[in-house]
Amino acid sequence: MSIQKDTFSCDVCIVGAGITGLTLAYYLQSAGLRVRVLEKASKPGGVMQTEISDGFLFDKGPNGTFFKSQAVKQLIDDLGLQARVQFTNENAAKRYLVKDGKLQPLSNQPMAFLTSNLLSWRGKLRLCIEPFLRAKSGGSRESVADFARRRLGQEALDRLIDPLIAGIYAGNPEKLDFHFTLPRLAALEQQYGSMGRALLAMKRARRKKSASELAKSKMFSFDGGMHVLAESLSRQLGDALMLGAEVQSLEQSPNSVEVKYYDAVEGMCVLNARRLVLATPAYASAALLAPIHTNTADALMNINYSPVAVAFHGYEKKQIEHPLDGFGFLVPAIENRKVLGSIWSSTKFLNRAPDGHVALTTFIGGERQPELLQNDEDTLIKIVESELRDLIGVSGQPTSRKIRILPKAIPQFGLQHKAVLETITTFEAEHHQIRIAGNFLKGVGVADCIANASTMAKEIAEEYHAGRKAQRDVRKNPQAYEPTPTMRI
């Protein structure tokens, strides 16, 4: 097989054009670095994909995110996408949980919650003692389930926390590290000593916020779905983004990394990069790093991913008994149902379905029932339709139906996660040319990916420019300088 030598020797090669890789590449290019992004798929965006068909808009990965950090706002401003941002509709604030096979509203008003039948009186009383419990001190690892049992009681774990974890991670609370999985709750416990006190403080803070600040704390997407973000970043990158380019191996030398990739048109190609960022899923980064550093590859390979199938349904509104007056519903494991939850996409955002129709996005599988994903697509769709019939009273055939199966969908921050991060930090310190990025490190949300990629881009650009300056200084006065890591750029 002949190998094409790519004459483009770049400053930074980024493998993977999900939101992490695209954001990184965009900011590095903006900082004046020569960038190349290699993406094996024929479309950018990775998990983030949107499909428009039969008049419905289906987000086939993330369906929204938050202005959780300044980095997200900055990116939207930098890309000029402000006018395309769509916040969730007012009537999507309500959330439902399944209890005894029926949808029950989950109120965020303490009195309404305490008078609802989501928890038994015993469960509610257990919740009421939460503010009087001491906060946990010290840095010992704790699972999400242990945290919930310690502060809120077993029933709240089963009825509230378990479905929350299903909704974000499709995960099992017994196996997830509390501090990495729910970092905000962990910080609130440390800051306020109790969840009850934290809720009160947050309520007081909300009252002080202006209407426009409050509006911005809501989830948002774009008029054309989440893929608008990936498309906009890709347009900015232009030829620096190569689609259909699958990286197959890496070879490290003291001053660069040789990247071998397979291009559908050109065949095997080689690219020399001064720096490399792996913005691929943990298991893909592990495979590429195995010949370079076994320990790091093993640590990455051990990051578990929950398997998820996402079903999309378009119905006529009159086919559904439930008013769909909210965000959607989540299902606790003890309900023994076959779906994790469903998002009422057309209630949540404008223009997701034609007039008189509704769009639903339903999740199935996860750590709870991975075996369901052994079924073929038709069977999975039938399972979802039967659950929607039972839970929200759907009748008849849908106008549109699709399914996306993701055998490795969402990374799980397991109890070994702190050790994984330490292994990666040590690796990066010892292998100056290579950085590891992605949703499996410090947060799976799109907003986390953007914030972490923006920070990494800043670090790499600063090092790069410092290295260039040092090289110029050395050339002017070779005797005066000892080589330092940043000068190896």
Ligand X SMILES: Cc1cc2nc3c(=O)[nH]c(=O)nc-3n(C[C@H](O)[C@H](O)[C@H](O)COP(=O)(O)OP(=O)(O)OC[C@H]3O[C@@H](n4cnc5c(N)ncnc54)[C@H](O)[C@@H]3O)c2cc1C
Residues at the contact surface with ligand X, assessed by CB under 6 A: 15-21, 38-41, 46-48, 61-65, 246-247, 279-281, 284, 308, 310, 406, 409-410, 438-439, 444-447, 449
Give the residue with the Cβ less far from ligand X, 21 or 414.
21
Give the residue with the Cβ less far from ligand X, 156 or 324.
324
Handedness of CA 158, 161, 167, 169 (dihedral sign): negative
Give the residue with the Cβ less far from ligand X, 152 or 165.
165
DSSP state of 251: E
Give the residue with the Cβ less far from ligand X, 259 or 461.
259
Give the residue with the Cβ less far from ligand X, 251 or 321.
251
Q: Which residues contact 426 (CB under 8 A, 6 or more apart)?
A: none
Give the residue with the Cβ less far from ligand X, 194 or 439.
439
**How many whole angstroms separate alpha carbon 261 and alpha carbon 271?**
8
Give the residue with the Cβ less far from ligand X, 168 or 487.
168
CA distances from 74 to 50, 67, 441, 443, 488 (A): 23, 10, 22, 19, 31
Q: Which residues contact 175 (CB under 8 A, 6 or more apart)?
A: 143, 304, 367, 412, 414, 415
**How many whole angstroms separate alpha carbon 80 and alpha carbon 72?**
12
Q: Which residues contact 102 (CB under 8 A, 6 or more apart)?
A: 391
Q: Give me the least distance between CB of 451 and ligand X, in Å please.
A: 11
Give the residue with the Cβ less far from ligand X, 16 or 173.
16
Q: Give me the least distance between CB of 125 and ligand X, in Å please.
A: 34
Q: 373 near 407, Cβ under 8 Å?
A: yes
Q: Which residues contact 228 (CB under 8 A, 6 or more apart)?
A: 50, 81, 84, 222
**How many whole angstroms separate alpha carbon 26 and alpha carbon 29?**
5
Q: Give me the least distance between CB of 24 and ligand X, in Å please.
A: 9
**How many whole angstroms separate alpha carbon 277 and alpha carbon 62?**
23
Q: Give me the least distance between CB of 360 and ligand X, in Å please.
A: 14
Q: Give me the least distance between CB of 85 and ligand X, in Å please.
A: 14
Query: What single string gives the DSSP state of each residue in 356-382?
Result: TEEEEEEEEETTT-GGGGGS-HHHHHH
Give the residue with the Cβ less far from ligand X, 151 or 440.
440
Q: Give me the least distance between CB of 14 and ligand X, in Å please.
A: 9
Q: Give me the least distance between CB of 398 and ligand X, in Å please.
A: 19
Q: Give me the least distance between CB of 1 and ligand X, in Å please.
A: 18
Q: Give me the least distance between CB of 112 and ligand X, in Å please.
A: 26
Q: Coil, strand, or helix at residue 31? A: coil
CB atoms within 10 A of CB 395: 11
